[in-house]
């Protein structure tokens, strides 16, 4: 890490998820991003104060996602609207200032973006003292732009190595695969599961030892339940020396236009997460169909999910005789996280 850059908070995201797993607590997280640093800071503070176990999010803007940092910087300078936080185009002091006193072991912050070429984004988040992000060489390439897949694979391999280098500081950087949501409702669950596992293995190959595997809620509760159980079983098989957990995304298709309908869907997603032993849930809000959600709408969604999770119970599924099945993961919210920082 270059001299003068703030050190990550000792693998804050990884350690926070490990602690939550030990108490079987579902962690809920917004998809929140604002261009104005003061508003972004207020959103993080409100997320931290919500009646829920939360982690924060810096969701980046569309210009930054496609690598048009000049356009992002120009929009900031001219006061134009952006649909997220322009991390690369903001000076480091601005970002560290909005995180100061907010991000830390008790409230880690993850950067969410959408870039097939994440190098500059990873550099900027490390410079700001953060240690967690998400994406993948396939899931952040094919749906979002015209970057050749081979280019994205090379770029993500380099980004993984940059994140993994943080382990030399004593941190345990975390990377979440977006594979369980690629093209959302246009993909069968089996494809989403396969891509999520393969991208997690890719992260491991390039040095990461703390990862999460995603799955997007679909329209059949029974199918979703089986899909997440399958994802956890495959993760246990294919990532034996990796700390991992599963994150569920609330329904990523067209969202209900009514507040009641949207919040019912958020609650359903939370109950799915608890039934299947997922450790984290990414929520959506009643505003998703029309505009960028406000801070207050994000907090309402977080608290709705947390309330549903508190009253949910893990499912007790019928299982075949032991001689005809392999061991399956527990149905409680969990991850295989440890708080050690062994070298890759």
> For 48-89, how does the pLDDT look when each residue is reduced to its tens digit (9 = 90+)?
999 999 999 999 999 999 999 999 999 988 988 899 999 999
**For 169-218, what is each residue's pLDDT tens digit?**
999 999 999 999 987 778 899 999 999 999 999 999 999 999 999 999 99
* pLDDT tier for residue 226 given thresholds of 50, 70 and 90: very high
> What is the pLDDT, as a whole number, of residue 81?
87
Residue 262 clears pLDDT 80, i.e. is over it: yes
Residue 128 clears pLDDT 60, i.e. is over it: yes
* DSSP classification of residue 105: T
Residue 343 clears pLDDT 80, i.e. is over it: no
* pLDDT tier for residue 115 given thresholds of 50, 70 and 90: very high
Contact (CB, 8 A) for 113 and 135: yes
Return d(Cα 318, Cα 303) in angstroms, integer: 32
* pLDDT tier for residue 255 given thresholds of 50, 70 and 90: confident
* pLDDT tier for residue 340 given thresholds of 50, 70 and 90: very low
**For 304-334, what is each residue's pLDDT tens digit?**
999 999 999 876 543 333 333 344 444 444 4
CA torsion 132-160-282-327 (nearest 10°) is: -110
> What is the pLDDT, as a whole number, of residue 82?
93
What is the pLDDT of the chain when averaged over all its residues?
88
**For 83-108, what is each residue's pLDDT tens digit?**
999 999 999 999 999 999 999 999 99
State both tokens at 63: 């210009």
Residues 6+ apart with CB under 8 A from 77: none
Return d(Cα 157, Cα 171) in angstroms, integer: 19
> What is the pLDDT, as a whole number, of residue 342?
34
Query: What is the three-class DSSP state of 282?
Result: strand
* pLDDT tier for residue 6 given thresholds of 50, 70 and 90: low
Longest dimension (CA), the chain: 67
Q: Which of 237, 307, 235, 344 is nearest to 28 (CA)?
A: 307
Contact (CB, 8 A) for 204 and 162: no
The sign one gets for the Cα dihedral 53, 58, 59, 65 is negative
Listed in sequence order, the DSSP H helices in the chain are 12-22, 37-49, 62-65, 69-78, 92-99, 119-127, 149-164, 189-205, 221-238, 259-276, 295-311
Range name among 237-246, 312-321, 332-341 with the lowest pLDDT average: 332-341
Going by their DSSP bridges, the two strands 174-177 and 56-59 should be labelled as unpaired
240 alpha-carbon distance from chain centroid: 21
Return d(Cα 29, Cα 233) in angstroms, integer: 24
**For 265-302, what is each residue's pLDDT tens digit?**
999 999 999 999 999 999 998 887 667 889 999 999 99
Bridge partners, 343 (sequence order)? none
pTM (whole model) above 0.85: yes
């Amino acid at each position: 890490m270059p001299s003068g850059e703030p050190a990550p908070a000792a693998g804050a995201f990884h350690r926070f998820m490990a602690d939550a797993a030990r108490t079987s607590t579902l962690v809920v997280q917004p998809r929140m991003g604002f261009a104005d640093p003061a508003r972004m800071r207020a959103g993080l503070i409100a997320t931290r104060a919500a009646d829920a176990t939360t982690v924060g999010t810096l969701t980046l803007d569309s210009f930054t996602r496609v690598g048009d940092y000049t356009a992002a910087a120009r929009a900031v300078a001219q006061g134009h609207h952006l649909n997220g936080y322009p991390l690369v185009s903001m000076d480091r002091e601005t970002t560290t200032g909005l995180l100061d006193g907010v991000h830390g072991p008790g409230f880690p912050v993850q950067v969410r973006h959408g870039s097939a070429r994440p190098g500059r984004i990873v550099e900027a988040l490390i410079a700001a003292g953060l240690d967690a992000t998400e994406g993948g060489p396939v899931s952040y390439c094919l749906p979002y732009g015209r970057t050749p897949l081979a280019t994205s694979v090379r770029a993500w391999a380099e980004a993984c190595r940059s994140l993994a280098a943080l382990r030399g500081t004593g941190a345990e950087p975390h990377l979440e695969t977006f594979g369980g949501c690629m093209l959302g409702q246009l993909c069968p669950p089996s494809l989403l599961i396969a891509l999520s596992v393969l991208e997690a293995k890719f992260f491991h190959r390039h040095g990461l030892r703390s990862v999460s595997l995603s799955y997007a809620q679909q329209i059949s509760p029974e199918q979703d339940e089986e899909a997440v159980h399958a994802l956890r079983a495959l993760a246990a098989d294919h990532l034996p020396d990796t700390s991992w957990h599963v994150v569920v995304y609330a329904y990523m298709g067209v969202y209900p236009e009514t507040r009641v309908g949207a919040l019912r869907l958020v609650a359903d997603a939370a109950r799915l997460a608890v039934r299947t032993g997922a450790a984290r849930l990414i929520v959506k809000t009643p505003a998703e169909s029309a505009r960028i959600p406000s801070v207050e709408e994000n907090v309402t969604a977080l608290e709705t999910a947390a309330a549903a999770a508190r009253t949910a119970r893990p499912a007790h599924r019928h299982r075949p005789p032991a001689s005809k099945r392999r061991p399956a993961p527990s149905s409680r919210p969990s991850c295989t996280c440890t708080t050690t920082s062994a070298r890759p």
